[in-house]
Amino acid sequence: MTNTASADASIKGLSFEDALTELERIVASLERGEVSLDDAIAAFERGTALKSHCEARLEAARMRVEKIKAPVSGDAPSETENFDPDQS
């Protein structure tokens, strides 16, 4: 497995919250300038992958919410679909 493939696999298993927390740490570190150029490039690449992951998770959640069928009566929805984070 290549480094990129292993990084993608490690990101795929992250929850939205964990990915966002890591992305925030990367951004803060880059803003402070506390990493070497090579480390900054690697962090930027990881951050880009984390951003894409977060966007995909948000879109999946949005689609799930749209699938909830709310009856006109205002009662609880009669059906929902299980959330599958691997389906985007």
pLDDT tens sequence across 31-59: 999 899 999 999 999 999 999 999 999 99
Residue 58 is assigned to a structural domain of this protein:
yes
Q: How distant, in Å, are the alpha carbons of 6, 8, 33, 57, 77 from that of 61?
A: 25, 20, 34, 6, 17
Q: pLDDT band at residue 68, thresholds of 50, 70 and 90?
A: confident
Say if 77 falls within a structural domain.
Answer: no
74 within some domain: no
Predicted confidence (pLDDT) at residue 26 exceeds the cutoff of 70? yes
At 2 the pLDDT is 53
Residue 10 domain-assigned? yes
Structural domain total, the chain: 1
**Distance from C-alpha of 28 to C-alpha of 57, rounded to nearest angstrom:** 22
pLDDT at 88 over 60: no
Residue 29 lies in a domain: yes
14 Cβ contact list (under 8 Å, min separation 6): 22, 50, 53
The answer to whether residue 78 sits within a structural domain is no
Distance CA 66, CA 80 (A): 10
Q: Is 27 domain-assigned?
A: yes
What average pLDDT score do residues 52-79 get? 80
**Host domain of residue 36:** 3-67
- Whether residue 48 lies inside any domain: the answer is yes
